[in-house]
Amino acid sequence: MTWDAEPVDGGRRVRYRVDGSTVATYDVAVFREAGETVVEIDAGYASRVGLRVLPSFLAATRYRDAVWAAQGYELRERDWSLG
């Protein structure tokens, strides 16, 4: 597995590759708004996954807020979908 990063629209695009093929892409932007630091992450996955990963995906979604809170972050908005 390798990764690379490049600047895009005030943030960074990070690509993870396996055997030279892109597996996931994350667009990350960090900025200040109304005196607070905002981190926006847009994740995209290049590969289809089987239904066997759905339970772990849903479990991770359930505990995601607690994980961010434990690190001192406040999650203000989430927009996700499976497609």
Domain residues of the chain, as ranges?
A: 1-47, 50-78
Residue 12 clears pLDDT 70, i.e. is over it: yes
Give the pLDDT confidence score for residue 9 in this predicted structure: 82
Q: What 8-state DSSP symbol labels residue 58? A: H
Q: What is the pLDDT of residues 18-71, one digit of tens each?
A: 888 888 888 999 899 999 888 888 888 776 666 776 787 777 777 888 888 899
* More confident site: 58 or 82: 58
Give the pLDDT confidence score for residue 20 in this predicted structure: 86
Question: pLDDT tier at 6 (50, 70, 90 boundaries)?
Answer: very high
Residue at 7: amino acid letter: P
- Side by side, which strands form the sheet with 11-18? 2-8, 11-18, 21-33, 36-45
Q: pTM, whole model, 2 decimals?
A: 0.63
Asked if residues 27 and 8 have their Cβ atoms less than 8 Å apart, the reply is: yes
